[in-house]
């Protein structure tokens, strides 16, 4: 089975830890290693270097090559432009098909954390077997929720459909992206709803056939991109694909009978916001997560990062707060407002502060 790791995002919601030229997947935020490096190490040695591919954008190519020097250069796929995940997955699958790789493939992400890699690998292998049995379907990994997280997507699993190698698999009843807190609370109390890590296994041929059938406005320009005669045409053709998520362009249109769910408990987290980073690193909710020269007095449930040498960051009586100090930017935000960091970054860009992004 081939694995494609997507590493082209810029982590806007994690600003100022994540910047346009130094996004979160390349920063050492866990045990001195980047999440990209950890993603690759989880896959090795179960999967060979020949079967691991990383897709990113052109200005991150050198960062990928530097952090993963073992990866063959031909296994680094480049997106001509950021058009969201819908076109990106179609492009990666099309490139695999060009290489004669039409069989099972797993889609994973470079900016996630997994505390139980053995569980992760076990479910990837089960997914591979399920696709070898029936290539024309999706196998979604669904993570057992630890709390009612409204920063994530949720999957709904249905009845048991069968068992493989002692692992049960279930019908797929749909998904919902970042529901409101009340809905998340309901999902968390239910035994049917799981976090959606965005990991799935399918076959290259089936994914591309779904694009051709359900998302022709993506499929057509991507195929033109691969046959382009020059760099100008590459950008011209790829830019014709609409900016849309994979879920919106394909999964919401896919026949539910063409998908199954594997329930997992792999300690997965997506540190996609500043507070989500705290949740990924904390041992319990009231913990403070700190980095650098930090002194907290009567502060709890807060993330305080100080990346500036020679300066102390001190807090008094904070609860549920995020404080990040870097050499050129400081942010202070309550935990329930971290999703608005995206709006902040957009406003900074619009109002003349791009150099800080």
Same domain, 280 and 241: no
Same domain, 239 and 93: yes
Same domain, 155 and 298: no
Same domain, 268 and 302: no
**Per-residue pLDDT tens listing for the chain (357 residues):** 999 999 988 888 889 988 888 887 888 766 678 999 999 999 998 999 999 999 999 999 999 999 999 999 999 999 999 999 999 999 999 999 999 999 999 999 999 999 999 999 999 999 999 999 999 999 999 999 998 888 889 999 999 999 998 899 999 999 988 899 999 999 999 999 999 999 999 999 999 999 999 999 999 999 999 999 999 999 999 999 999 999 999 988 989 899 999 999 999 998 878 888 888 888 888 999 999 999 999 999 999 999 999 999 999 999 999 999 999 999 999 998 998 999 999 999 999 999 999
Same domain, 346 and 317: yes
**pLDDT digit string, tens, across residues 192-220:** 999 999 999 999 999 999 999 999 999 99
Last residue of a domain, one of 248, 272, 296: 272
Last residue of a domain, one of 256, 272, 288: 272
Q: Is residue 197 within 8 Å of 268, Cβ to Cβ?
A: yes
Same domain, 248 and 305: no
Last residue of a domain, one of 257, 272, 287: 272
Same domain, 241 and 291: no
Domain range for 345 is: 275-356
CATH number at residue 60: 3.90.550.10
Same domain, 142 and 238: yes
**pLDDT digit string, tens, across residues 122-172:** 999 999 999 999 999 999 999 999 988 888 899 999 999 999 988 999 999
pTM: 0.90
Same domain, 212 and 295: no
- The number of distinct structural domains making up the chain is 2
């Amino acid at each position: 089975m081939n694995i494609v790791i997507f590493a082209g995002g810029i982590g806007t919601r994690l600003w100022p830890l994540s910047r346009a030229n130094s996004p979160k997947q390349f920063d050492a935020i866990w045990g001195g290693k980047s999440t990209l490096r950890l993603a690759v190490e989880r896959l090795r040695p179960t999967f060979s270097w020949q079967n691991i591919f990383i897709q990113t954008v052109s200005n991150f190519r050198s960062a990928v090559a530097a952090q993963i020097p073992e990866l063959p250069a031909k296994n680094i796929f480049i997106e001509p432009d950021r058009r969201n995940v819908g076109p990106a997955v179609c492009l990666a699958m099309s490139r695999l098909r060009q290489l004669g790789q039409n069989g099972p493939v797993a889609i994973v992400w470079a900016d996630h954390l997994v505390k139980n890699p053995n569980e992760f690998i076990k479910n990837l292998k089960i997914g591979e077997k399920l696709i070898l049995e029936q290539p024309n379907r999706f196998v979604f990994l669904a993570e057992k929720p630890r709390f009612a997280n409204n920063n994530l997507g949720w999957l709904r699993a249905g009845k048991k459909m069968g068992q493989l190698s002692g692992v049960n698999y279930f019908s797929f009843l749909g998904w919902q992206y970042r529901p409101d807190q009340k809905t998340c609370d309901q999902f968390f109390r239910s035994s049917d709803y799981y976090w959606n890590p965005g990991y799935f296994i399918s076959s290259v041929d089936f994914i591309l056939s779904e694009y051709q059938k359900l998302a022709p406005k993506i499929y057509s320009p991507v195929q033109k991109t691969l046959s382009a005669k020059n760099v100008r045409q590459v950008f011209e053709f790829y830019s014709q694909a609409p900016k849309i998520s994979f879920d919106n362009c394909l999964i919401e249109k896919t026949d539910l009978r063409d998908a199954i769910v594997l329930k997992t408990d792999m300690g997965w987290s997506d540190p996609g916001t500043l507070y989500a980073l705290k949740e990924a690193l904390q041992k319990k909710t009231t913990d403070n997560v700190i980095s650098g020269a930090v002194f907290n007095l009567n502060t709890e449930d807060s993330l305080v990062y100080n990346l500036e040498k020679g300066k102390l960051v001190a807090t008094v009586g904070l609860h549920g707060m995020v404080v990040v100090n870097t050499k050129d930017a400081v942010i202070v935000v309550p935990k329930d407002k971290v999703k608005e960091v995206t709006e902040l970054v957009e406003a900074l860009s619009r109002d003349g502060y791009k150099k800080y992004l």
